[in-house]
């Protein structure tokens, strides 16, 4: 005889005792739940006649699959642990029809289990704790999306890739509003943190420093929740990067220094030292501290055997040696240490010129151009030629660092404004900076 469960009683009350009637209602509930939970997989759920017969007859050893449980709970408004439990009704016809011998058997039966010992309840609770709205394929897709954004960043730029990064972040946040086991939830936190970090970096390149600070803070806080030191230190480095381009040099140095203190030998500290501390210290004029910090970054590079070449500017990987030296060039420009600028730039020239990073080639040219104007005998023609090349390399994908340095070069060339090469550079700079993106950076800088 079929076991009388709460599900069976509810289906009888709602006249859903045939497979056809139940399946139609079940599929409508699945479609509604898919829309409410933003989980399109649910919309395709169906129930077979055999499944219906087992559910209706209470013939279950374990509960249905997690997605089916979610639809049943949405459809009937009760937890599955209750739906598949036996429904007791002392006034049922079955109880009244039982003979004395049956009642004596019930009386002599072992005492019932406590409510919390119901096997189906235990199974249901375990399913709820281990159930997840995220599978390995979804996590792999999110990870590969972030890797794709980072690998294409220097070719496509922030404006083209920002929408995709926002979508990854939004999907990670949506999934985190659901239920996952600890391992999966940790992976989602990491994806959300890195998506925010990429958006923070992009915001620096578009000149929106307040937005960058918000994204970087989110990336740092999310990564700390799961103890992801690698992403945490990278987010701190990007926050320092943002503070630097916002002109807040003391804060940029303090932010990077605090992160280095937490894990002095970590590979991410190469970036924190070279990009965060050294450049900010150069702006404050602390020559000795700049030398010490660059030396520390290079020794750490030897310890971790980082790539020799120019790594991607937005990569989560440790800084390569060429990028560390490129940051040293920028630090020495601020200190008007012309000899060191030209020596370091020559050392990495071949690596920079053979890289795919047009922004890096542009920025090194602007640093060298500035150094050529700082010499005792300025080389105006060569400096302005490098300035024009830098603008042409950046083309239609301006970023705030190129805008700031090309603007500074234009201002530094002011004493020679009547020189033909300076006039030519000025004309090219005004044309290049009239792009909408560059105009937005100019407005932010002012």
Question: What does the pLDDT look like over 11-67, one tens digit per residue?
Answer: 988 888 999 989 989 998 888 888 888 888 888 899 999 888 888 888 777 788 888
In this prediction, residue 133 has a pLDDT band, given cuts at 50, 70 and 90, of: confident
Q: Is the pLDDT of residue 93 over 60?
A: no
Which pLDDT does position 381 carry in this prediction? 97
Which pLDDT does position 89 carry in this prediction? 47
State in Å, rounded, how far the first CA of the chain is from the last one.
82
Tokens standing for 229? Answer: 């030191």
Give the Cα separation of 162 and 5 in Å (integer).
52
| In contact, 274 and 344? CB cutoff 8 Å | no
Give the Cα separation of 133 and 37 in Å (integer).
10
Give the Cα separation of 292 and 166 in Å (integer).
39
Taking the CA atoms of 378, 381, 382 and 387 in sequence, report the sign of the dihedral they define. positive
Which pLDDT does position 125 carry in this prediction? 65
Averaged pLDDT for residues 305-328: 91
Residues across the chain: 446
Give the number of other CB atoms < 10 A from CB of residue 396.
Answer: 10
In this prediction, residue 82 has a pLDDT band, given cuts at 50, 70 and 90, of: confident
Which pLDDT does position 99 carry in this prediction? 45
In Å, how far from its chain's centre is CA 216? 10
Of 270, 260, 176, 253, nearest in space to 218 by CA? 176
Give the Cα separation of 248 and 252 in Å (integer).
6
Give the Cα separation of 437 and 262 in Å (integer).
37
Which pLDDT does position 110 carry in this prediction? 53
In this prediction, residue 79 has a pLDDT band, given cuts at 50, 70 and 90, of: confident
Backbone angles phi, psi at 199, to 5 degrees: -65, -35
Averaged pLDDT for residues 77-85: 84
Backbone angles phi, psi at 114, to 5 degrees: -65, 155
Which pLDDT does position 128 carry in this prediction? 66
Rg (the chain; Cα; Å): 32
DSSP state letters, 203-249: HHHTT-HHHHHHHHHHHHHHHHHTT-HHHHHHHHHHHHHHHHHTT-H
Averaged pLDDT for residues 410-419: 95
Q: Is the pLDDT of residue 115 over 70?
A: no
Which pLDDT does position 1 carry in this prediction? 61
Give the Cα separation of 386 and 139 in Å (integer).
45
Q: Which residues on neighbouring strands pair with residue 86, listed in sequence order?
A: 5
Instruction: Assign 264 to helix, strand or coil.
Output: coil
Averaged pLDDT for residues 385-394: 94
Question: 240-294 pLDDT, tens per residue?
Answer: 999 999 999 999 999 999 999 999 999 999 999 999 999 999 999 999 999 999 9
In this prediction, residue 105 has a pLDDT band, given cuts at 50, 70 and 90, of: very low
Q: Is the pLDDT of residue 104 over 50?
A: no
Q: Which residues on neighbouring strands pair with residue 5, listed in sequence order?
A: 86
Question: 179-196 pLDDT, tens per residue?
Answer: 889 999 999 999 999 999
Give the Cα separation of 401 and 393 in Å (integer).
14
Mean pLDDT of the chain: 88
Which pLDDT does position 121 carry in this prediction? 64
Backbone angles phi, psi at 230, to 5 degrees: -60, -50
Q: Is the pLDDT of residue 118 over 60?
A: yes
Least confident residue range of 38-52, 143-157, 360-374, 375-389: 38-52
| Residue % of the chain over a pLDDT of 70 | 89
Which pLDDT does position 87 carry in this prediction? 64
Give the Cα separation of 66 and 75 in Å (integer).
14
| In contact, 278 and 294? CB cutoff 8 Å | yes
Is pLDDT larger for residue 381 or for residue 85? 381
Give the Cα separation of 43 and 285 in Å (integer).
63
Question: 146-178 pLDDT, tens per residue?
Answer: 999 999 998 899 999 999 999 999 999 999 998
Which pLDDT does position 235 carry in this prediction? 98
């Amino acid at each position: 005889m079929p076991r009388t469960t709460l599900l069976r009683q509810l289906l009888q009350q709602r006249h859903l005792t045939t497979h056809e009637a139940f399946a139609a209602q079940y599929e409508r509930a699945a479609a509604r739940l898919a829309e409410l939970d933003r989980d399109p997989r649910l919309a395709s759920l169906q129930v077979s006649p055999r499944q219906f017969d087992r559910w209706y007859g209470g013939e279950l050893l374990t509960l249905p699959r997690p997605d089916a449980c979610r639809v049943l709970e949405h459809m009937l408004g009760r937890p599955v642990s209750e739906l598949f439990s036996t429904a007791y009704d002392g006034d049922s016809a079955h109880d009244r029809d039982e003979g004395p011998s049956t009642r004596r058997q019930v009386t002599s039966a072992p005492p019932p289990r406590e409510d919390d010992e119901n096997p189906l309840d235990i199974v249901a609770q375990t399913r709820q704790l281990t159930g997840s709205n995220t599978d390995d394929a979804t996590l792999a897709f999110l990870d590969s999306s972030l890797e794709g954004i980072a690998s294409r960043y220097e070719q496509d730029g922030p404006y083209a890739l920002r929408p995709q990064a926002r979508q990854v972040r939004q999907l990670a946040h949506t999934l985190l509003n659901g239920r996952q086991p600890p391992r999966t939830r940790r992976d989602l936190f990491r994806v959300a943190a890195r998506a925010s970090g990429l958006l923070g970096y992009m915001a620096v390149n578009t000149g929106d420093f307040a937005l960058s600070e918000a994204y970087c803070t989110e990336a740092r806080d999310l990564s700390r929740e799961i103890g992801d030191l690698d992403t945490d230190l990278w987010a701190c480095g990007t926050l320092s990067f943002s503070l630097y381009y916002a002109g807040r040099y003391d804060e940029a140095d303090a932010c990077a220094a605090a992160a280095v203190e937490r894990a002095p030998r970590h590979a991410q500290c190469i970036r924190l030292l070279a990009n965060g501390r050294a450049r900010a210290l150069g702006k404050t004029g602390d020559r000795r501290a700049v030398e010490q910090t660059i030396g520390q970054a290079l020794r750490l590079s030897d310890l971790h055997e980082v790539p020799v070449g120019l790594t991607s500017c937005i990569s989560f990987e440790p800084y390569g040696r060429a990028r560390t030296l490129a940051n040293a060039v920028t630090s020495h420009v601020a200190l008007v240490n012309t000899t060191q600028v030209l020596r370091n730039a020559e050392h990495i020239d071949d690596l920079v010129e053979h890289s795919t990073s047009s922004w890096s080639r542009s920025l090194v040219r602007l640093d060298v151009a500035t150094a050529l104007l700082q010499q005792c005998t300025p080389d105006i023609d060569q400096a302005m030629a490098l300035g024009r090349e830098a603008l042409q390399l950046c083309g239609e994908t301006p970023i705030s660092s190129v805008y700031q340095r090309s603007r500074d070069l234009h201002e530094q060339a002011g004493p020679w404004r009547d020189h033909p090469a300076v006039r030519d550079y000025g004309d090219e700079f005004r044309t290049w900076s009239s792009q909408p993106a560059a105009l937005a950076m100019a407005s932010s800088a002012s």
